[in-house]
Amino acid sequence: MSEPIHPDLLEILRCPVAVHYKDKGDDPGRLRLVKDCWLVCDDSGYKYPIRDGIPVMLIEEGEKWKNMPEDQLPVPPPA
């Protein structure tokens, strides 16, 4: 399984898509940790894998998993 992300990093990371939303309040794009190896943005629905302790914050990567229900996200995320 992937290494968990440090809480300080989780606090500062934002979804690169949702951070531009003007209708989501003062701090759009916040992420939450799911299954210890996924970062999920409730504002955009994008889901970013964490591989070897490193969040993969590419828009294409988050979009690829957008429609996958959280309970079906693979653990560990595929390479």
Domain extents for the chain? 7-68
In angstroms, rounded to a whole number, what is the distance separating the alpha carbons of residues 43 and 19? 9
pLDDT in tens, 11-43: 999 999 998 877 777 889 999 999 999 999 999
pLDDT at 2 over 90: no
In angstroms, rounded to a whole number, what is the distance separating the alpha carbons of residues 42 and 53? 21
In angstroms, rounded to a whole number, what is the distance separating the alpha carbons of residues 19 and 2? 26
Q: Are 31 and 50 in contact (CB under 8 A)?
A: no
pLDDT in tens, 37-79: 999 999 999 999 999 989 999 999 999 999 999 999 999 999 8
pLDDT at 1 over 70: no
